[in-house]
Amino acid sequence: MAYKRKEFLVDDDVLKLINYVEARTDGQLELILNGDIFDFDSVRQLPTTPFAPIDWLARARGLGSEAWMSEFKIETILKDHQPLFAALTQFLQRGNHIVFIAGNHDLELLWPGVQTRILKALGATAQSENVRFCNWFYISNKDTYVSHGHQYDHFCAAKNAIDPLIEIRGRPQIRLPFGDLCHRYLINGMGYFNPNAAGNYIMGLFDYIKFFFRYMAKTQPLLLITWFWGSMATFFVTLNHHWRPAMRDPLTVDDKVRDIAKHAQATPSMVRQLHALSIPPACSNPYLILRELWLDRGLLLLLLFFAACQIILVLNYAWPISPLNVLIPIGLMLPLFFLYAFQVRPTVFTDPLINEKRASLIHRITGVQNIVCGHTHEAEVRQIREVKYINGGFWSPNFKTPECKERVGAQTFVWIRPSGDSERSAELYEWPDDGVAPLTFDPTSQR
């Protein structure tokens, strides 16, 4: 996992960008960190004195999403980024604002204890008015709707963004979507696969075979076993989370909606309407999960092998034959397997986060002129009817190969600033590695 090395941290570039923009801004600046800022799913460290017993799966792949576990993980993350948070503390002290919006990889931001630790790292308190934590969206200056975008992705949507807690073995947890459980319980054990680079782990059959022999044949020869048990763990934990009822106190339902609205600068009505706009998670159809994990192909192959063994056993009753003859029915049935395997296509990120209908509804609900998302790692700018849609791209370490020598994509950001007497303009820019000034967004740099 070379992409985790400290030389690939983007902290310095983030600070250069903030300083550049602040130097060219009159008055207060609002920094919106639009989801997946804290990668809770990648934290593998374990506490030396745990608050409660840690099960075997957490020891193998990382802690779950109970409050004390999330608090330990945020402390681990903050320790690796102390200079960044020291600079953000000064940024706040100069009268500026920071908004944290929860994405699918940092849904654990919703724990009050996690927010308290972040506030402490920023030199702020729960009473500070210049730091906000938003459940899944934020409305900036009444003209821009900002959301990470995972609520419009079947594989990463939180089932209930208003009530994210479920109870497992008598203890509350944040309900995590399939995409994050897959990252946690499968990709964390797959060595060279980089979860920040979709093209690195969403591949075809021949691409996986080439990847294995190039990188893993010597270091992870039992990768198929790792994949199988990791996929099975992901599948069953995903369904366990999905089928659990949300923890909901009927006496605080309205208070919770009002609190979300307050932090998002919206109204309770907007919160309910935008929540209804979220799409249902793919877990509603377990076959989709099996297919994305490649378990459908794995189980089909096992079924064909079992059927071949049964054929040979039946024939063996009539006359004794060598067990090696099992290769004959296997060879005859393998074309069926390949016929199925090659017609299956990945469905992750195949649909746009914001289509024409969704953009129109967001505009009607909120009255905004701009919609800003992220999540897909594909920066783009589109005019969709009444609104301008911008995907802010990503800053995470995405490289073409596990050697981390050729970066894929650019560090992009959205800058919203006054363009007239009262209107604001939202534009997409790139920040070069070790740069001193932003560049106009170039779509070819995303390749």
Burial class of residue 345, CB neighbours in 10 A (0-12, 13-18, 19+): exposed
List CB contacts of 155: < 8 A, sequence separation 6 or more: 177, 178, 179, 281, 282, 288, 292, 347, 348
Question: Average pLDDT, whole number, for the chain?
Answer: 89
pLDDT in tens, 295-336: 888 888 889 989 888 888 888 888 888 878 888 888 888 888
CA separation for the pair 99, 222 (Å, rounded):
44
pLDDT of residue 93: 92
pLDDT, residue 216, reads: 78
- Domains of the chain, each with CATH number or no CATH: 2-164+245-278+354-446 (3.60.21), 294-343 (no CATH)
Query: Low-confidence residues of the chain, pLDDT below 70?
Result: 197-203, 346-349, 421, 444-447
DSSP secondary structure string for all residues of 289-327: HHHHTTHHHHHHHHHHHHHHHHHHHHHHHHS---GGGGH
What's the token pair of residue 287?
A: 């076959």
Question: Does the predicted TM-score (pTM) go above 0.75?
Answer: yes
Q: How far is CA 163 from the centre of its chain?
A: 19
| Contact status, residue 138 vs residue 32, Cβ threshold 8 Å | yes
Q: Give the pLDDT of residue 348.
A: 66
